[in-house]
């Protein structure tokens, strides 16, 4: 199955790269001002799904643009055909294709393809995480103040969902640096590769994180919800780290309950 995921991710990724600057129609999703979609997101998804369907017609699919099919199937393919749509539409080369494979509720394989770097990230449960065949390992950074962290903001950030703004301010006060690249799946790959020490985000969807969280855990890292409890990809809140700084990150994510956002008024 992972070979089918790789073939689909590569084909879709090549299509995305070729399509930069050639978008004809940009629409807003669900009347939201920031959440954009184009015919390229849909075209990429169609390519991926048709390849999977040809090989595994009875498997379930959960894909960002077309939704779900075959509910109750033993295997479910979880697909984001273009993670980093805003970057893509602006011509910023930070986007990817990401495909996770779930078996009876457990993610067993994940593929992320970055067509701009021609980097293929792969992981299978119990077999490690790799980029272009080279094994990945998380960083060993032990303190938040020495950590480079990544986050993202949901499209409804103006409503400050789940204290997103307070979390950002609190990490800003405690870490070496914070980055926001705009592709959650690639962000998780950077944690798996040890280039980043941790990542958190609110309001993510299963397709943003299914493959990436397996890459992080197979590279020796840890993932959880904001309370440190086991992560569900359907749970919207994710913290992923090298494992060493995980408790410190969970503690920062609870800080808003213990006394606000670093003394800065955010509401
Ligand atoms: C988005 C990206 C972004 C994250 C958003 C996601 P999309 O996915 O992963 O980094 O901050 O929350 O929705 O819309 O480009 O597929
Ligand atoms: Ca996404
Ligand atoms: Ca997407």
Ligand 1 and 83: CB distance under 6 A: yes
153 touches ligand 1 (CB under 6 Å): yes
Backbone φ, ψ for residue 77 (5° rounding): -95, 125
pLDDT-derived band at 32, boundaries 50, 70, 90: confident
Please, which residues have CB less than 5 A from ligand 3, an ion?
Answer: 64, 80, 82
Ligand 1: residue whose CA is nearest its atom 11: 152
Token pair 């103006």 is at which residue? Answer: 158
204 lines ligand 1 (CB under 6 A): yes
Q: What is the mean pLDDT of residues 43-58?
A: 98
Distance CA 7, CA 13 (A): 10
For residue 227, how many other CB atoms are within 10 A of its CB?
A: 10
Q: How far is the CA of 233 from the centre of ligand 1 (A)?
A: 14
pLDDT 10s digits, 76-100: 999 999 999 999 999 999 999 999 9
Domains annotated on the chain, with CATH: 2-135 (3.30.540.10), 144-258 (3.40.190.80)
- Model confidence, pTM: 0.95
* Top-confidence residue, 28 or 149: 149
């Amino acid at each position: 199955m992972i070979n089918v995921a790789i073939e689909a991710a590569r084909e879709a990724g090549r299509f995305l790269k070729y399509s930069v600057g050639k978008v004809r129609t940009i629409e807003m999703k669900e009347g939201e001002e920031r959440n954009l979609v184009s015919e390229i997101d849909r075209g990429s998804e169609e390519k991926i799904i048709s390849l999977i369907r040809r090989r595994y017609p009875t498997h379930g699919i959960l894909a960002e643009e077309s939704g779900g099919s075959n509910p109750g199937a033993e295997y479910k393919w979880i697909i984001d055909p273009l993670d980093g749509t805003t970057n893509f539409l602006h011509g910023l080369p930070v986007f990817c294709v990401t495909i996770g494979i779930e078996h009876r509720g457990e993610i067993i394989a994940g593929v992320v393809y970055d067509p701009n770097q021609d980097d293929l990230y792969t992981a299978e449960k119990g077999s490690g995480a790799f980029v272009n065949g080279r094994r990945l390992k998380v960083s060993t950074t032990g303190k938040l103040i020495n950590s480079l962290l990544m986050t993202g903001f949901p499209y409804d950030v103006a409503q400050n969902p789940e204290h997103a703004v307070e979390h950002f301010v609190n990490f800003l006060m405690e870490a070496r640096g914070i980055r926001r690249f705009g592709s959650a799946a690639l962000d998780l790959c950077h944690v798996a590769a040890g280039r980043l020490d941790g990542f958190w985000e609110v309001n993510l969807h299963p397709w943003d994180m299914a493959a990436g969280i397996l890459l992080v855990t197979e590279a020796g890292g840890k993932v959880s919800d904001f309370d440190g409890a086991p992560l569900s990809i359907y749970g919207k809140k994710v913290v992923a780290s090298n494992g060493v700084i995980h408790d410190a990150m969970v503690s920062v994510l609870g800080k808003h309950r213990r006394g606000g956002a670093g003394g800065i008024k955010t509401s």
